[in-house]
Amino acid sequence: MIINQIYTGCLAHAAYYIESNGEAAIFDPLREVAPYLEKAKHDNAKIKYIFETHFHADFVSGHIDLAKKANALIVYGPTAKPNFGAIVALDNQVFNVGGCKIKVIHTPGHTLESTCYLLIDENNQEKGLITGDTLFIGDVGRPDLAQHVIADLTEEILAGHLYDSLRNKIMPLSDDLVIYPNHGAGSACGKMMSKETVDTLRNQKKFNYALRPNMSKQEFIKEVLTGLTTPPAYFPKNVLLNINGYESIDEIIKRGMQPLTISAFELLSKQDDVLVLDTRNANDYSEGSVPLSINIGLDSNFAMWVGDLISDINQKIIIVTDKGREEETIIRLARVGYDKTIGFLDGGFNIWKNSGHEFDVINRITSQEFEQVYKTKDTLVIDVRKASEFESSHVIGALNIPLAKINNHLAEFPKEKPFILHCAGGYRSMVAASILKQRGWNNFVDVLGGFGEISKTSVPQTNYIAPLTLL
């Protein structure tokens, strides 16, 4: 049995490829399915099954496209009700893949249909457990997501199911099993996941707070639900896409890969229902950008920020990106259900600038310049990091407006009084700056290197939880 984890850092997502004797299975595939098909072709293997651990909220799975292209069967665990052809397995049902076996273990809690898959090799030895969002390394899946789609569920009910699943279904398994979760640190599907992406069940019993021995159900429910942030707004929409089906990724790429002349791009950019999305890095964007564009750089948690900040999943989008990254941008938007990219600026921003068209700039200052301004002027400092980062340490007197909440707190940004933006390193503050610029703010500057550089100066900092924090 070959077990390959295919990890995608920008989504903190892990898919799995299992192969044995010329047959393969894919677990929780991403939207773009070519890598799985190529892997199977390289191994001279046929993809027989596509196993889904649950209806995902944080990304759109590639199960439907992959099933069509590989002539494979989609498998869900008990209670799943997909609106397309799929096997809804029984608890403890076994599927053969080559000489190995995949055993279904129904583990409701993160969602009602959440299911783990026990991997049994050609020698009938239990080797690993693909846990989806039921069990992470250092954490468990948050039980407050499915209730947004299924109204009669509460997070307390699901947390109770999760407790039972962990105690009755997973913890009795062999300590030597390798745990293969669906996500690592950075995913919004848990609250304190490890940066490690595999571990043994033995270690998780020692170090995972949710698997403590002698932990009562009420204690578990309280601890699991404490500290959860508001789920990203796009999560319920992704769940519905995964339940109901979606447009083929091939059609989405074909529609999005339309090169637009400057005049065509400009005409579209002025339409009320079209958003200009610039995916270049923060430095390049600050030096020049198409007016009214927003910046979400590809080289970070791009898809997550798209989902947090672009409220309409059906938003029409035209893109400005580095040459050669147009298709990558379209695919990464589609991973979280933003399928309506309708073209890109042919030649990128340079052709716009060189044509003599007006462009915007974002003024940035160094941490040393910030230090001087802070000491000599009464200037408002706005920190767009997460509340937990702010509480850990921040500039004295700073106001915390987390980037994820910016659209709901625009009134907190003054239009007459100048202010200074910063985040941890410059990525998020440039996203915030672009949104403010698009909405008409011009009286601010951004700090290069963010708090990481500010913390090296003599600017006074504190770990006091300021009352200005917006929760």
The secondary structure of the chain, three-state, reads CEEEEEEEHHHCEEEEEEEECCEEEEECCCCCCHHHHHHHHHCCCEEEEEECCCCCCCCCCCHHHHHHHHCCEEEECCCCCCCCCCEECCCCCEEEECCEEEEEEECCCCCCCCEEEEEECCCCCEEEEEEECCEECCEECCCCCHHHCCCCCCHHHHHHHHHHHHHHHHCCCCCCCEEEECECCCCCCCCCCCCCCCEEHHHHHHHCHHHCCCCCHHHHHHHHHCCCCCCCCCHHHHHHHHHHCCCCHHHHHHHHCCEECHHHHHHHHCCCCEEEEECCCHHHHHHCECCCCEECCCCCCHHHHHHHHCCCCCCEEEEECCCCCHHHHHHHHHCCCCCCEEEEECCHHHHHHHCCCCCECCCEECHHHHHHHHHHCCCEEEECCCHHHHHHCEECCCEECCHHHHHHCHHHCCCCCCEEEECCCCHHHHHHHHHHHHCCCCCEEEECCHHHHHCCCCCCEECCCCCCCCC
pLDDT at position 466 over 70: no
Mean pLDDT, the chain, rounded, equals 94
What proportion of the chain, given as a percentage, has pLDDT over 70?
97
Residues 364-462: name the CATH superfamily: Rhodanese-like domain (3.40.250.10)
pLDDT at position 67 over 90: yes
| pLDDT the model gives residue 231 | 84
Q: Which fold has domain 2-237?
A: Metallo-beta-lactamase; Chain A (3.60.15)
| pLDDT the model gives residue 469 | 46
Domain with CATH 3.60.15.10 in the chain: 2-237
Domain with CATH 3.40.250.10 in the chain: 247-354, 364-462
Q: Which fold has domain 247-354?
A: Oxidized Rhodanese; domain 1 (3.40.250)
pLDDT at position 461 over 90: yes
| pLDDT the model gives residue 11 | 87
pLDDT at position 220 over 90: yes
Q: Sorting pLDDT into bands at 50, 70 and 90, what band is 467?
A: very low
pLDDT at position 471 over 60: no
| pLDDT the model gives residue 341 | 98
| pLDDT the model gives residue 151 | 54
pLDDT tens digits, 232-282: 888 999 999 999 999 999 999 999 999 999 999 999 999 999 999 999 999
pLDDT at position 410 over 80: yes
Q: What is the pTM of this model?
A: 0.91
